C-alpha cells in the first residue's frame, strides 16, 4: 500500500499569525513524501527512512520520535495491541527543516498508508488531528497550518484559535521557491519578534494589522482568479517582515534577484532569518527566474503550480 502527501508553503501572514491575524498557506504538489507499507517476512516492524538516516527495526527509534509516535498513536487509535509484521519505507523530495512541511507530510503519508494497509482508512479530519498532535513534537506549539494544508491538500486561511478554512483557487499560478541554505529555527525568530513587540507594542500591532489586510486581499484575489495581483502584495508583505527584523541579507538578495529577473513579486516565506523565499512568476519566466536565483546563491529551487 502506497500513499503520498505534498509539502506546503506559507504565502502570506507569517509572524502576524502568532498575534491572531490571518495567514495563507498552500500545498506544494510537485514535492512529496511517499510511504509504502508491505508485509514483512521477518518478525517486527522494519523501517527504511533515508530522510532521517534510519534503516532498521522501529523499536530502535526513541519512543518520543515523531515517526515512532505516528505508529504508536495509530495502533492505539485502531485498538491494535499486537501490530502485524510490516516493512515500511519513506521516500521524500522535501528537504528536512526547510520550512516546507516535511514533518507533517511524513505523518500524513504514513497515517494514510498504514491505516489503508490495515483496512481501517482514516477520514481526513482524523488524519489532520493526529498529525497536529505529532507536530507538537517538532515545533512545540504549532499553529496547525502545516497539518491542515497537507492533510486536506488545499490552500488554507488560518486565524489562531479559529477553525481553519480551506478555499479553492479560481486560476492556478506559478511560484518559484528558493532556499537560502541558511538554517532558520522558527522558535528563535518568533521569540525575537515577541521581544520587539513587548518593547514597542503599538508599532508592531500596526504592522500586524497591515499584514492582516494583505492576507485578506490575497485570499480574495486567489478566489476570484486574479493571482497576478498577488505580486505587489508579496512585495508589501516582505517590507513589513523586514521592519520586523525577520528578513536577512541572503533573503533580501534573493528577493531582489527574483524581481530583477522578471518576477511579479517576491517575499520571504516562513520564519525568516534564513530558510526560503518565494517569487510569483509567469509560467514562461519561471525557469529563468529559478536560474537567476541559483546564480545568486540559492542552494535549491523548486518551481510549483499553486492550485
C-alpha cell at 225: 482568479
Reported as type and span, the H/E element at residue 57 is: strand 54-57
- Compute φ and ψ for 14, nearest 5 degrees: -60, 150
CA distance 13 to 238: 10
**E strand or H helix that includes residue 51:** none
Strand 54-57 with 45-49, pairing: antiparallel
Q: How far is it, in rounded angstroms, from Cα 224 to Cα 155?
A: 14
* Local structure of 170: helix, strand or coil: coil
Does residue 85 have an active-site annotation? no
DSSP states of 80-149: -SSPPPEEEEEEESSPTTSSS-HHHHHHHHHHHHHHHHTT-PPPHHHHHHHHHHHHHHHHSS--SHHHHH
73, 146, 179, 252: the active-site residue = 146
| Half-sphere exposure of residue 217: CA atoms within 13 angstroms, side-chain side | 15
Catalytic residues: 146
Amino acid at each position: 500500500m502506497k500513499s503520498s502527501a505534498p509539502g506546503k508553503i506559507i504565502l502570506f501572514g507569517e509572524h502576524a499569525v502568532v498575534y491572531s491575524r490571518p495567514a495563507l498557506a498552500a500545498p506544494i504538489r510537485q514535492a512529496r513524501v511517499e510511504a509504502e507499507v508491505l508485509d514483512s517476512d521477518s518478525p517486527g516492524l522494519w523501517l527504511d527512512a533515508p530522510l532521517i538516516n534510519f534503516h532498521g527495526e522501529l523499536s530502535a527509534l526513541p519512543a518520543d520520535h515523531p515517526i515512532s509516535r505516528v505508529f504508536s498513536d495509530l495502533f492505539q487509535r485502531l485498538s491494535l495491541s499486537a501490530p502485524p509484521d510490516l516493512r515500511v519505507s519513506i521516500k521524500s523530495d522535501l528537504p528536512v527543516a526547510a520550512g516546507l512541511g516535511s514533518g507533517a507530510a511524513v505523518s500524513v503519508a504514513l497515517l494514510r498508508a498504514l491505516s489503508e494497509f490495515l483496512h481501517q482508512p482514516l477520514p481526513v479530519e482524523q488524519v489532520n488531528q493526529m498529525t497536529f498532535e505529532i507536530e507538537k513534537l517538532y515545533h512545540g506549539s504549532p499553529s496547525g497550518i502545516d497539518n491542515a494544508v497537507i492533510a486536506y491538500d488545499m490552500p488554507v486561511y488560518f486565524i489562531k484559535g479559529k477553525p481553519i478554512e480551506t478555499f479553492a483557487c479560481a486560476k492556478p499560478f506559478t511560484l518559484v521557491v528558493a532556499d537560502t541554505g541558511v538554517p532558520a529555527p522558527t522558535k528563535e525568530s518568533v521569540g525575537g519578534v515577541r521581544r520587539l513587540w513587548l518593547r514597542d507594542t503599538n508599532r508592531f500591532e500596526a504592522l500586524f494589522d497591515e499584514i492582516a489586510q494583505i492576507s485578506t486581499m490575497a485570499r480574495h484575489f486567489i478566489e476570484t482568479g486574479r493571482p497576478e495581483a498577488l505580486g505587489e502584495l508579496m512585495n508589501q508583505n516582505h517590507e513589513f517582515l523586514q521592519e520586523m527584523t525577520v528578513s536577512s541579507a541572503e533573503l533580501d538578495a534573493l528577493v531582489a534577484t527574483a524581481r530583477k529577473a522578471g518576477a511579479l513579486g517576491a517575499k520571504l516565506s516562513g520564519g525568516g532569518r534564513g530558510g526560503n523565499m518565494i517569487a510569483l512568476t509567469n509560467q514562461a519566466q519561471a525557469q529563468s527566474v529559478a536560474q537567476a536565483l541559483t546564480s545568486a546563491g540559492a542552494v535549491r529551487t523548486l518551481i510549483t503550480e499553486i492550485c
